Structures are given as C-alpha cells and as structure tokens.
Amino acid sequence: MKVIKRNGTEVDFDISKIENAISKANQVVEDSAKMTRLQIERIAQSVELQLIKFNRSPSVEEIQDLVEKQIMAHGAFEVAKEYITYRYTRSLVRRSNTTDDKILSLIECCNEEAKQENSNKNPIVNSTQRDYMAGEVSRDISARLLLPKEIVEAHNEGLIHFHDTDYYAQHMHNCDLVNLEDMLQNGTVITGTMIERPHSFSTACNIATQIIAQVASNQYGGQSISLAHLAPFVQVSREKIRRTVEREMQSIGAHPTQEQMTELVEGRLADEVKRGVQTIQYQVITLLTTNGQAPFVTVYMYLGEAKNEQEKADLALIIKETLEQRYQGVKNEDGVWVTPAFPKLIYVLEEDNIHEDSKYYYLTKLAAKCTAKRMVPDYISEKKMLELKGDVYTCMGCRSFLTPDRFTDAGIGNIANAGNYEPGKHKYYGRFNQGVVTINLPDVALSSGGDMERFWSVFEERLELCHRALRCRHERLKGTISDVAPILWQYGALARLEKGETIDKLLYNGYSTISLGYAGLYECVKYMTGKSHTDPEATPFALSIMQKMNDKCKEWKTTENIDYSLYGTPLESTTYKFAKCLQRRFGIIPGINDKGYITNSYHVHVTEEINAFDKLAFEAQFQHLSPGGAISYVEVPDMQNNLEAVLGVMKFIYDNIIYAELNTKSDYCQVCGWDGEIKIEEEEGKLIWKCPKCGNTDQNKMNVARRTCGYIGTQFWNQGRTQEIRDRVLHL
C-alpha cells in the first residue's frame, strides 16, 4: 500500500510510523493515563485494516484522522489530546512552507498528485512544471488572501469545489467560443503584428492555429472554433487557383475545356484543403501553450452554418478531410498511428446528413467510421437542440454551453464591437464562461443523515455557499482591463474593446455565463431513497434536485443580471478528491462512497447494467435540466466491423438527446507493439496500466486513449478516475 505525503510524493505504507507517533504522545501523559504497548499495536493494526478498505493510496491527513478516532475509541483521551496538540503544532510549522515543499516536489518529479492532476499534461517537462509552480503560488495566494475563509474551508472539506484556483490569482476566465469569422474576415493582431484577411484557405488555417495558441495561453478553459468560418476561404483559393491555371495554360498555348479547367482547379483545391486541415491537426497537437499542454480546442462541424449552397459544399469538403485525417490518426515516436487527444471534434446531425437519402449522408457514414476507431467526433442533434434551446451552436471545450442569447432580443446591441455583428441575429461566437463552482451532492445527502426535511435545508445552505463562491469568481473578473489579453478583448477573439477599457459590460446581460456545477446525483439519490435514480420510484426525486438548482440559477440571474447556469461538471481529478473527502467525513458507506470516485453529473453509474438506447433516453431528461453544459455517453466494444450499429446509435441521438458520444478503446504498447486494449490491474494496492501481451507497466512507454469526462485523456489519470474507467460496463 502506498501513502501520499503532504507534498504530493508517494511512499510505501509503514505501520511503525503510526506506532511511533502514538508512543510519543503516550510518553508525555501521566502513568495512569498511559496506553499499553499492545493497545498501541492494535490501534495501528486497526488503522491499517481501515486503510486497506479505501482501495486507494490514503493521504497522511487521512491516516492521522483515523489514528485520532482509534485512540479515543480506546478511551485514552489524554493521549488523544497530546496527539492532536502535536498535529496542530506541526501544522503551524508547515503552514509557512507547504507551498515551497510542493513546488520542490514538482521540480524533482516526485509529486504524485501533480502527475495525476491532468491526464493530458506531462508533469516532467519544464513548461508543465512552470505552469504547476505558478499554480501552487496562485492557490496559496487565493487561499490566504483572495477568497473568504468559509469558501476556502468548504473547498478543502469537499463540500464544494472552487475550480481552477491555480489560475484564480490572475484575471482569467474559463472557456469560450472564438469569433474566428471576425478575426479572419476583418483582421486581427497577434503579438503586435497585424494579420490581414488571408488570401487562401491554407493561410486561413495557419492563422487559425496561431489564434488558437494565443487564446489558449490567455485563459484556462477550453475553446471552440467552427469550420464554417474557414469555409469561405475555399472559394478564395478556388478563384486564386483558377487564375494560376489560366496563366499556366496561356503560357504553354493550351486551350482546355471548361470541364478540364474545373477538374484541374478542383484537384489542386483538394490538395490545398488537405494541407490546410493537416496544418490545424498537426499544429494543435504539437503546439505547447503556456498551460503546459496542447490547446484544449474543439472543432465544430455544422453544415447549417453555411451561408449558401456553394459554401455548404465547400464546408462539406473540409469536414470530409477533417474526418479522414482524424481516422488516420497521428504517428507516435515509433511511427505508429495512434489516437490523438485533440482537437476534439463535434459533428452536428441534421436533416442534410442523417437519412440515407440525405445529400451529405456520406459524411455521417465517415463520422461513424471515425468514431469507431478514434472515439471522435461527438454528436449534437440539430433537431433536439432547436426544440429545447431554440438555436444550434457548439459547446465551449468539452461540454460547457452558453445560455441562448438574450442581449440581442433586449436591444442591447453590439456591446463587444464585433466586426461581424448582425443586428437582430442571435450571437454566440465571441461569448465566454466566467468560471465554475461545483456542489458535492452526495455530501448534502450524507450531511442530512437521510432525513428528507434536513436534506432540503442543507441543500439550500450549500447552494447559497456556491452562490457566494460564484460571486467571488465574478468579482475577480470585474475591473479587468482589455490590455491583459489583447487577443481576447481587443483583437476580436471575444471582443474589440479599446485599450484600457474594462470587460465589465461583457459580464452582464447574458453576454457571458457563470456555472453552478454539480456532481454525484446518483450517490445522492441512492443514499436518500435506497434506489438508483434510474428506478422509477427515485427518478422524480432526482429531477426535483435538478429543478431546485435550476430555480436557484434563475433566482440569482433575475436579481443580479448575471447568467448563472447549471453545469454537469466533468470531474477529472475532482471525482477522486470528493470521494476521499466523503470517506474522511462520513467513513465508508457501502454502495455510496466506497469507491475512489463519485459519478459525473447526472450520469447513470458506470457499473449499472443498462443498454445504450435506454441510457441515452433516460439521461436526456437530465440533460435538458442542465442547460449550462452536459454530455451523455455510451460505452461500446470495438465497433469497427459493425458500423451499422454505430449509425443506429447516432440516429437515436438525433431523435432523442442534444449531445452525446460513444466511448471505445484505442491503445498501443510501445514495448511490444500490442495495439489492442491495455488493461487496468491492481498491484500492491495501486491500479496500474498493464500490457496484456508483454506485461509493460511503464506509462511513458504506452499510448492509452480513453474518454475521461467529455474529452479524450491519456493514461496519466489519478487512482479514482482509473478505478472509474476500470469499472465501466458496456452499453452495447
């Protein structure tokens, strides 16, 4: 069994350290209050047995909590008092240098928590270490100086999660929809250099990647771009190529027919589209932002965004090339084609592509083929989104959705000074999210002790706590001047404000959103009712919880003119943190908090047997009540030889749910060349990835791709998330 020390390093469990600590406290009490050696050994053994039940690496703090309880259970209150006093004294000493210790452990690459904090970051490389070091300083400043004590304590106890405190010290926002159209059509500025409207598709793609990198370095969340904003430049290149071909034909005295000319032009154009798409794919993957990872970018593919039929055909050409290149994958260092994590792809299912006789159904078949091999694209239903939101638009990053535009209807107008603003038309590109605070729903339930009246009372208190925390996020952004991130606020990505102008007007009237996240609906309902939320008797209670959170967002929004919105939190590392906090606060309760993770948002529990169609249909009702962001998934085996089944799921998505994805496996062992599924096994109380062919367990010598929580991650997950991935059952 391993133990996580306070600086994040991982060491072997040593029972003698528990015995020594108790003995030191035992030595300073009166003889009449002293414990026997046998009692001390039994306490240590009892603690060890409880730790084994964790099925994960405990922290030093968790071990000490158990030791305290066991000493008191033996009636040795004087010894317990001395032990607690010693702990408190040491905590005062540590308070001055905890940040230093964590930073040093980061530099020496022995911080296990940092290694597992983000599955798409390599904590060994300098750029990631620099980001993590800055993050530790930001967390320290935020906890000591910037955030109210009650918020910090609630975050530390796991009652709520105040996301991204590693960036909170700076005036940075979460995620956004980049107004790529405005920047390409009307020009932008990158690091002081004027970038004018591109004169070819390939140049537009090159500029787009530079914009993506700049945006990623000036915020901490995901960003989305639309291929529809690149589509007009296909025609620009077509006309340019035609002029070039005409000159070439004249120079050699050739007189091709119009059909021959068109064939020549379209052939060269296809090559340029291929090069342009390749630029986006390879540059996004190989770029390293100041956050220490490739840009978290989503590429949106929606034929309905095209302004005319020619542009739609050109957009289809780009989509086809994008899907084909993603299907191929990228080469790893051994030259083997593997699945990349980014860019994330979203494909809109619509009338033009969903039916077998639809004009663009060939794209949908290609998307199905790509999904079966590479886990992308994910799917948005035009039909359901129009029905439930009134508009069709992409999410920001992996699942965070804007609220439908209300400032246009209110007559507020072009407050961002966008160059492509159209009066009377709803606006989505150029808008953003201010940040997220998540409520731990299982903690609300466990704090109530199962009493329903008490549950709603605690729930009300925790929601107001989240509200105060969200206000902190909002106030931190207020007063931010546009100069802090010119690419965002001055040069078109989000706005074209004046130098020195604040972004305050973009924080109100629905221009941006701020998200109340939630996690563990399944565990919450299970504790309160004894049933899964999929049980018809428990589902109404689950929906009432969702409605309560929506009502609160509406109440705050009406009062403050800030667009609070309910968001189904992805929980990559927080799922593990919440699980550990629940175990520390309430002990281990079978079926509720006995795992190293809690369930993402409203999802059906990963171990629950349910077929793909029932799962999607059930979760659709919760997705509707999670307007600030949500995604549903189905876990499937290798479907590359059963594309009709993949298409069947896609058609079901179109008819039933706004946003969903299919999860499969895509792995490669660099030691032996195994390209099947790499398994998760347990060794010495720790979950590890192991090649079933050669037994390789070196995470740096394998390529594992799994859907983490809306986006694809690699094998560097924490123990809680790894356990959740291991426990997943197939839905198809």
Active site residues: 174-175, 396, 398, 400, 433, 567, 572, 710
Name the residue among 613, 691, 693, 622 with its Cα closest to residue 653. Answer: 613
Answer positive or negative: Cα dihedral of 215, 217, 219, 223.
positive
Residue type for position 459:
F
Burial label for 391, CB within 10 Å (0-12, 13-18, 19+), is exposed
Distances (CA, A) of 456 to 155, 444, 459, 460, 543: 21, 9, 5, 6, 14
Sorted by sequence, the CB contacts under 8 Å of residue 547 that are 6+ apart come out as 625
d(CA 67, CA 20): 12
Distances (CA, A) of 94 to 88, 100, 108, 401: 10, 10, 20, 41
Beta strands in 320-441 (DSSP E): 330-331, 337-338, 344-349, 378-381, 432-440
Contact 634, 607 (CB under 8 A): no
d(CA 490, CA 507): 16
Beta strands in 254-392 (DSSP E): 297-301, 330-331, 337-338, 344-349, 378-381
Sorted by sequence, the CB contacts under 8 Å of residue 423 that are 6+ apart come out as 413, 414
Distance from the Cα of residue 166 to its chain's centroid: 15
Phi, psi of 196 (to 5 degrees): -90, 175
Answer positive or negative: Cα dihedral of 425, 175, 632, 522.
negative
Q: Give the alpha-carbon dihedral of 638, 641, 644, 648, to 10 degrees.
A: 0
Question: Angle 521-529/539-560 helices, nearest 10 degrees?
Answer: 130
Distance from the Cα of residue 577 to its chain's centroid: 16
| Structure token digits, residue 357 | 């006789």
d(CA 578, CA 160): 9
Give the DSSP letter string of 261-276.
HHHHHHHHHHHHHHHH
Sorted by sequence, the CB contacts under 8 Å of residue 641 that are 6+ apart come out as none
Contact 136, 103 (CB under 8 A): yes
Burial label for 541, CB within 10 Å (0-12, 13-18, 19+), is middle
Contact 647, 365 (CB under 8 A): yes
Give SS3 for 408.
coil
Contact 167, 135 (CB under 8 A): yes
DSSP state of 31: G
Name the residue among 159, 238, 74, 114 with its Cα closest to residue 466. Answer: 159
Sorted by sequence, the CB contacts under 8 Å of residue 663 that are 6+ apart come out as 375, 633, 634, 635, 636, 706, 707, 728
Phi, psi of 632 (to 5 degrees): -110, 155
Distances (CA, A) of 542 to 566, 594, 685: 15, 21, 34
